[in-house]
Structure 1
């Protein structure tokens, strides 16, 4: 049975609410309202599986009824995330968000969710190691379950021109490492090259983006069908994230046969030198080196793209569901 609680989402659709308290606060208010509503439902179950940021009250309620609690964590431990953000905002000389500088109820909530959860599901081995470090969790209590990619929707296609095109997909701001790829592109000064960034721009990052806006193409958003076309016309996909969960767009680019350059902090990475390259965070020179290699070796770039098509086949939603079911079985068998 699927039951949907739509009423908290209404807040997202009321411009005056967003304007008065800010998008960050609306997002977390919606999560809290949803969590409270779920906590009052019939939670008589063997395993309660909740998503981070919106499961504290419902996990507590389910646990009182004897359920085993599973917390689904999309990204790095909040302590690691805060430190990475703090360092980044200082390096870029940007005003630090209050939740990074001092923490808030939302941050406290995340720590409490860790404490009430029996198991944690994460999307990559690197995030698992991060949780073991910060939460002193046993490896057996953390399951690595990579997310899936829609391989029916994202498919290889013929490139329509000869332009060397870099594509970046993701919120354009501090978290995704946008500054480093913008600066790398500016310094490279490649001929017959284009850099397309697809997604909204974080408000606090706008002053930095404005310095590069005349040399790049920014598209605020596209449909999934349009995104497939943009990826088919890409020469390389780049995601140099400082803090990343899985990075679904990386898998989508691979599915389209595009070589990728991702940071070491991305959940969805490639085999370095096979389907693309993995670079250190905050490293403009490494980005320039790998982009230039693909620019000068387009035959090898196409080979990497073909390798990516094969590599990404393991990241399907069917495989994701299968691993979820296997994890549930392991948890229930352990509880006996």
Structure 2
């Protein structure tokens, strides 16, 4: 059985493709963001933003294809000063989804020529691809990186978008066509089950992390250093973090908070301004992965208070570095902390709950030192190698 893996960007699709290649099951891997093999240079002509996103895989060039036109036009369209989107009158979300849909159509036209036996595609770029796959009798696997759209709308209270109805219809059709829906956690899988997706279709597989071998903790504690890493958005609850840390800092003046991330939500302008002016806060901006891992290793505790996250990749990255994590009850990676309860803490989605736990950790930092060994144990289990074994075994059930 041979499978096609296709994604307009990257996310963790290269790990799925690598998993299938390791088992002799990969027909092709098509992704908008390129990957490189061991010893291959990063293409010199790639813009810096793309160079930082290139990942190394063991997949031969002959099995890879990277139509960079799609992410390139996406980036140009969303540019604040000269973006194409200004002339189209679409929201950023609507424009981005248009590009995903174009990629979906591009893949669909080629599926019937390639004729794989299985197609693995990703949310909001899979509908046409799956329809073409069905015409040739191929099995369809939806690798869903988020919670079900109904749960997302309920948890985030998203404002209506004229384009949202089309996006929702496409997502529903993708789920309908899929033989399997792979989610990043039981938390995410339950959101699909709650929306009426049959349990027989659902396969949760927790993601993994493998930090660079040269990452070592360098920092000795002066004050407790919390780290947030991710998009500066409402979904990630940056507003709740700002409220909680400002109260912690008032009680523990030596406490610190580092913020690593970009993609600031315009609706959070006041929150981000407050963060920038809060004593003890350091804004690191968006970091390449190698530098982010070092910041994680140097932190005393990762904080991810999301209103919802189907997984929360940075959590397992923190555990892989031996850094304990504090997450909300709506972060899928909480399942790792439930398995390794001494590796971190789970709180409700509220500024008060976050403040209470952060204050305790800042006041009694010995608990953070105790948690590091258990974080390392969790990180040793939840690796990319483990994910790849589980992913390949899941796809093999379609035989």
Calculate the TM-score normalised by the size of structure 2: 0.76
- How far apart are the structure 1 equivalents of 2:194 and 2:214? 36
Contact 1:36 1:58 in 2 (8 A): yes
- How far apart are the structure 1 equivalents of 2:205 and 2:214? 21
Which of 179, 182, 204 pairs up with 2:267? 204
After superposition, residues 11-26 of structure 1 pair within 5 angstroms as 11-14=73-76, 15=79, 16-20=83-87, 21-26=90-95
Q: How many residues align?
A: 320
Supply the RMSD in Å over aligned alpha carbons: 1.9
Which of 280, 297, 315 pairs up with 2:348? 280
Which of 66, 69, 75 pairs up with 2:137? 66
Q: Does 1:28 align with 2:89?
A: no
Worse-matched range after superposition: 31-40 or 126-135 = 126-135
Using the TM superposition, give the Cα deviation of residue 19 of structure 1 relative to its aligned residue in structure 2, in angstroms. Answer: 4.0
Using the TM superposition, give the Cα deviation of residue 146 of structure 1 relative to its aligned residue in structure 2, in angstroms. Answer: 1.5
Q: Does 1:159 align with 2:202?
A: no
After superposition, residues 1-336 of structure 1 pair within 5 angstroms as 1-14=63-76, 15=79, 16-20=83-87, 21-41=90-110, 42-86=113-157, 96=159, 98=161, 103-138=164-199, 140-152=200-212, 155-188=215-248, 189=250, 190-200=252-262, 201-215=264-278, 216-269=281-334, 270-271=337-338, 273-281=341-349, 283-332=350-399
- How far apart are the structure 2 equivalents of 1:53 and 1:24? 12
Using the TM superposition, give the Cα deviation of residue 156 of structure 1 relative to its aligned residue in structure 2, in angstroms. Answer: 4.0
Query: Which deviations, in whole Å up to 9, do the C-alpha atoms of 1:78-102 show, x marking residues without a partner?
Result: 001011111xx6xxxxxx3526xx8
Task: Name the SS of the counterpart of 2:295 in structure 1.
Answer: helix
Worse-matched range after superposition: 128-137 or 60-69 = 128-137
Using the TM superposition, give the Cα deviation of residue 61 of structure 1 relative to its aligned residue in structure 2, in angstroms. Answer: 0.3
Worse-matched range after superposition: 116-125 or 129-138 = 129-138
- How far apart are the structure 2 equivalents of 1:3 and 1:211? 44
Contact 1:74 1:245 in 2 (8 A): yes
Task: Name the SS of the counterpart of 1:186 in structure 2.
Answer: helix
Structure 2: state its 5+ residue gaps. Answer: 1-62
Q: Structure 1 residues 229, 160: CA separation in 2 closer, same or farther (over 3 Å shift)?
A: farther
- How far apart are the structure 1 equivalents of 2:291 and 2:273? 25
Using the TM superposition, give the Cα deviation of residue 142 of structure 1 relative to its aligned residue in structure 2, in angstroms. Answer: 1.0
- How far apart are the structure 1 equivalents of 2:94 and 2:223? 42
Contact 2:224 2:365 in 1 (8 A): no
Worse-matched range after superposition: 185-194 or 102-111 = 102-111
